[in-house]
Amino acid sequence: MIRTTEREPAAAKDGMVELQERPARGFSKGGPARAGEAGAERSSGPASQTSAAKRGETIPFPKPYQGRRPADIAESDSPDPLEIPEPPEPPDPFDDTSYRWLHDRSGHRQDGPSWMRVFITVVGAIATGGLFGYLLLTLFTGEPLLPTQGAQSGQGTVAANGEVPVLAAPATEADGSGASASAAGAQGTAQAETPTTGEVVPSVSLYVLQHGVFRSEESMNEAAEKLRAQGIAAATDASDGYRVYAGISPTKSEADELVSLLAGTEVYVKALSSDSFQIAGVEDVDEYIGFLDASAKLYGKIAGFASATLTGQTPSTDNDLTSIRTAHQVWLEKTGPAASWIETARTYSQTEIEQLNAAVSLLNSYGESPEDELLWKAQTATMNAVFADRQLRSFIELQAGG
Phi and psi for 29 in degrees, rounded to 5? -85, -10
The counts of H helices and E strands in the chain are 10, 9
**Surface-to-core class of residue 302, CB atoms within 10 Å of its CB (0-12 exposed, 13-18 middle, 19+ buried):** buried
pLDDT of 15 above 60? no
When pLDDT is cut at 50, 70 and 90, the band that residue 306 belongs to is very high
More confident residue, 103 or 298: 298
6 in any annotated domain: yes
Whole-angstrom Cα distance, residue 169 to residue 256? Answer: 26
Query: Is 179 inside any structural domain?
Result: no
99 pLDDT more than 70:
no
DSSP state at residue 308 = H
CA dihedral 7, 11, 13, 19 (to 10 degrees): -10
pLDDT at res. 59: 64
Predicted confidence at residue 285, as pLDDT, reads 84
Length of the chain: 402
Distance in angstroms (rounded) separating the CA atoms of residues 24 and 108: 89
**What pLDDT is stored for residue 190 in this prediction?**
30
- Are 266 and 227 within 8 A, CB to CB? no
Pairwise pLDDT comparison (318 vs 296), residue with the higher score: 296
* Cα–Cα distance, 375 to 371 (Å, whole number): 7
Q: Which of 3-7, 93-97, 324-328 has the least mean pLDDT?
A: 3-7
H-only helix segments in 66-184: 70-77, 115-141
Q: Which residue has the higher pLDDT, 270 or 63?
A: 270
Q: How far apart are CA 343 and CA 132, in angstroms?
A: 43
Residue 318: pLDDT band with limits 50, 70, 90: confident
Residues 377-401: tens digit of each pLDDT: 999 999 999 999 999 999 988 887 7
Residue 116 within any structural domain of the chain: no
Domain assignment present for 136: no
**How many structural domains comprise the chain?**
2
- Tell me the β-bridge partners of 59: 17
DSSP class of residue 250?
S
In this prediction, residues 272-297 reach a mean pLDDT of 87
Would you state the pLDDT for residue 240? 86
| Residue 129 maps to a domain | no
Q: Is the pLDDT of residue 316 over 80?
A: yes
What pLDDT is recorded for position 45?
Answer: 46
Does residue 145 lie within any of the structural domains? no
pTM score, whole prediction: 0.53
More confident residue, 332 or 191: 332
Please name which of 346, 370, 350 lies closest in space to residue 358, comparing C-alpha atoms. Answer: 350
- What average pLDDT does range 304-325 have in this prediction? 91
Residue 86: pLDDT band (50, 70, 90) is confident
What three-state secondary structure class fits 367?
Answer: helix
**Is residue 24 pLDDT above 60, yes or no?**
no
Q: When comparing pLDDT for 32 and 401, which is higher? A: 401
Per-residue H/E/C for 374-392 = HHHHHHHHHHHHHHHHHHH
Domain interval for residue 24: 1-39
Q: What is the mean pLDDT of residues 23-50?
A: 45
Q: In terms of pLDDT, which residue wins out, 136 or 131?
A: 131
* Reported confidence tier of residue 282, pLDDT bands at 50, 70, 90: confident
Residue 113 domain-assigned? Answer: no
Neighbouring-strand partners of residue 241: 239
User: Is residue 180 within 8 Å of 171, Cβ to Cβ?
Assistant: yes
pLDDT score recorded for residue 159 = 36
Residue 292 within any structural domain of the chain: yes
